[in-house]
Amino acid sequence: MPISEKRLLTPKFSHIYIEETVLEHPVSSSIIRHFPDSNIITIRHYKDVFNRRKQNFHLQKRSPKLILATAKPPFLYRGAEVCENFGHGSFHCTSSILNCLFDCEYCYLPGRYTSANLVIFVNIEDILSHVQHLLRISSLYLCVSYDTDLLALDRLTSFLARWLEFAAVNPDLLLEIRTKSGNTASILTRPPLDNCILAWTLSPDQVIKKYEKKTPSLDTRLRTISKLMEHGWKIRLCFDPILRTPSWKKDYINCIHYTLSMLPARSIRDVSLGCFRMGKDYLKRARIIRPDSDLLWYPFKLENGVYTYPECTRREMLNTVSREISRFLPREKIYCMGDFT
Amino acid sequence: MILVTVAMQCEAKPFIRHLGLKKVHDINVFPVYANERWKLIVSGVGKIRSAAAATFLLTRDLGNSHGFVLNAGVCGSGDTKTPAGTPILINKITDHDTGRSYFPDMVWAHPFAEGSLETWSRVLKVIGSSHQIDHLVDMEASGFFEAASRFLTPDRIAVIKVISDHFDSSRVTAGEVSMLIERCLPPVAGWVESISGSTFGKRPVFRRSEEQYMLKVSNNLRLTCTMVLELKSLARYHKLSGGNLEDLLAPYISMEPVSRKEGKIRFAHIRKKVVNP
């Protein structure tokens, strides 16, 4: 963003909207302490701000505000069809934060929410006790970082530590935390957990520079992963979404070689692959927000309510990428969304 | 275009003077004053009049997505520490009757103090009553905001109120209201000017000539409405990914209009060229 334009905008989190009922919540107090100069505005319900009609997502993304709220049941929802379940029957997601600090052009969040402001549900204890209740009935595969990047916001919320503590005493829970962040502070202070999957989304640097704005570089992500591997964690690598850029083949092959020659195979839990895909309505809204995105305006094919590359294109992309990965890792460690290999 | 709504003529006067606005004589529903860039309407007192005036202006000027609308005027304040004459940028408006709150987007940097405002339907007399008011009170903002947010995104709507009194018994005259607003006007007008023209790098993808090119091709190929939308979408992708739109459509521009069947075949060729260049 040009400096002159930046000067026109209020800084990130210059305003914190907070529901009256969570004014005294310890998580709210702790978050507010990070922003002593912010204006605090009390609200009745987070949707009064977050769900306003006709919001300017593009501008809000450049000057996001924080909304502190209470999560209400249902706290969990079934994992979407477009997400890999890694063979787990009871695949669920939960969101203690809505929206993300990063600005990835392929993200479904602009299609899902009308606002780019961040909502933090401060009552994480209610989500945890609900999960605890469900675990008495059956085991659970739970993704907690789909509608946000939990690690990137952990300095603010410390939610990651809460989930790791919870997973440590609930072995029937299999937790997945997906991220692009370079922040490992709260992970390195505790021993690795078998039932907690730390998953990093990786892309070629060309893709990161053009389509994953405000995210750490590939090198930063790999250094972070290496550090955690040395600490004993087994990491999931996600080449997802794979994007069909003009030089996609060369870029992804180079990226895979670079990544897998740097990371020890024994410390890679598995690899997840998937081509770009987005629900019909989400893509429609995301295109309105980004009318100048060559990525989103690609002539995708609509298949069962989901826009994605045509089948032959997908097959070519997934086969190419999985073939490269299988030079470094056994096939059974490669999960392919769409399963063309 | 920057649109301004005020409730009273004495609030309008400083704007008219400062911005050199001229009365628009062909409008007689509300008093309206304008120059090339600004248009001001005097709504009358009350939230319904304010909503009507905002709707009137925004309906006439709709189509300009970079438009900006401001509700300006005076308000009472329960906070005696903030002196009369202070301009306040409103970050929360609550309608006293319905309890509903409205939130302008606070994305623009500004030099003003901020505050929350409550809109009442009648003149508030605090002296001798049980009301304890510690915020700002006016009679228009909730109606104005409700109406304006039908037309514009909340970052293009602002409410700036100048404190005129602290609900004390002293009566503020029309002349004093004009004077209070006059003093605040240079920073208010300067701020609105600086942000209203900002597009944040959002420029239309197609040039006018390219739009006309697509229209001509759509007519020549007798495309259906759905196909026209698909053509625009394909053209957008083609251009964004570095292709030349005129080269893509050149074979179809100077041809005689063809039958619908032939048009479909040729449209399929365009699609193929874009998907598999």
Residue B212 in contact with partner chain A when CB distance is under 8 A? no
Express each pLDDT in B226-266 by its tens digit: 999 999 999 999 999 999 998 999 999 888 878 889 999 99
Using the 3D structure, point to which of B174, B196, B218 is the last residue of a domain: B196
The percent of residues in chain A predicted with pLDDT above 70, rounded, is 97
Q: Say how many domains are in chain B.
A: 2
- Which chain B residues have a beta carbon less than 8 Å from that of A54? 149, 152-154
Residue A284: closest C-alpha in chain B: B233
For chain A, the structural domain boundaries read 70-336
Express each pLDDT in B60-74 by its tens digit: 876 555 789 999 999
Radius of gyration of chain A (CA): 20
Q: What is the DSSP letter of A9?
A: B
H helical segments located in B84-203: 141-148, 174-196
B154–A5: do the CB atoms touch at under 8 Å? Answer: no
Cβ–Cβ < 8 Å for A201, A178: yes
Residue B225 in contact with partner chain A when CB distance is under 8 A? no
**What is the H or E stretch that residue A228 is in?**
helix A218-230
Same structural domain, B192 and B238: no
For residue B118, the enclosing domain spans 2-196
Compute CA A129 distance to the chain's CA centroid, rounded to the nearest angstrom.
23
Same structural domain, B174 and B51: yes
Residue A296: closest C-alpha in chain B: B237
Express each pLDDT in A251-264 by its tens digit: 999 999 999 999 99
ipTM over 0.85: yes
| CATH for B160 | 3.40.50.1580
- Which chain B residues have a beta carbon less than 8 Å from that of A291? 202, 205, 236
Q: Please check whether residue B201 lies inside any domain of the structure.
A: no
Q: What is the DSSP letter of A215?
A: S
B109–A48: do the CB atoms touch at under 8 Å? Answer: no
B105–A8: do the CB atoms touch at under 8 Å? Answer: no
Q: Please check whether residue B39 lies inside any domain of the structure.
A: yes
Average pLDDT, chain A: 93
Q: Please check whether residue B170 lies inside any domain of the structure.
A: yes
Q: What is A70-336's CATH topology?
A: pyruvate-formate lyase- activating enzyme (3.80.30)
Count Cβ–Cβ pairs < 8 Å, chain A vs chain B.
Answer: 94
Same structural domain, B6 and B112: yes
pLDDT of A158 higher than 90: yes
Q: Please check whether residue B107 lies inside any domain of the structure.
A: yes
Residue B276 in contact with partner chain A when CB distance is under 8 A? no
- Which chain B residues have a beta carbon less than 8 Å from that of A9? 107-109
Using the 3D structure, point to which of B196, B221, B243 is the last residue of a domain: B196
Q: Please check whether residue B203 lies inside any domain of the structure.
A: no
Same structural domain, B252 and B129: no
Contacts of B110 (CB under 8 A, 6+ apart): A10, B89, B191
Interval B51-59 mean pLDDT: 96
Token duo for residue B203: 């420029």
Residue B114 in contact with partner chain A when CB distance is under 8 A? yes
- Which chain A residues have a beta carbon less than 8 Å from that of B152? 54
Q: Please check whether residue B16 lies inside any domain of the structure.
A: yes
Provide the pLDDT for residue A89: 73
Same structural domain, B127 and B60: yes
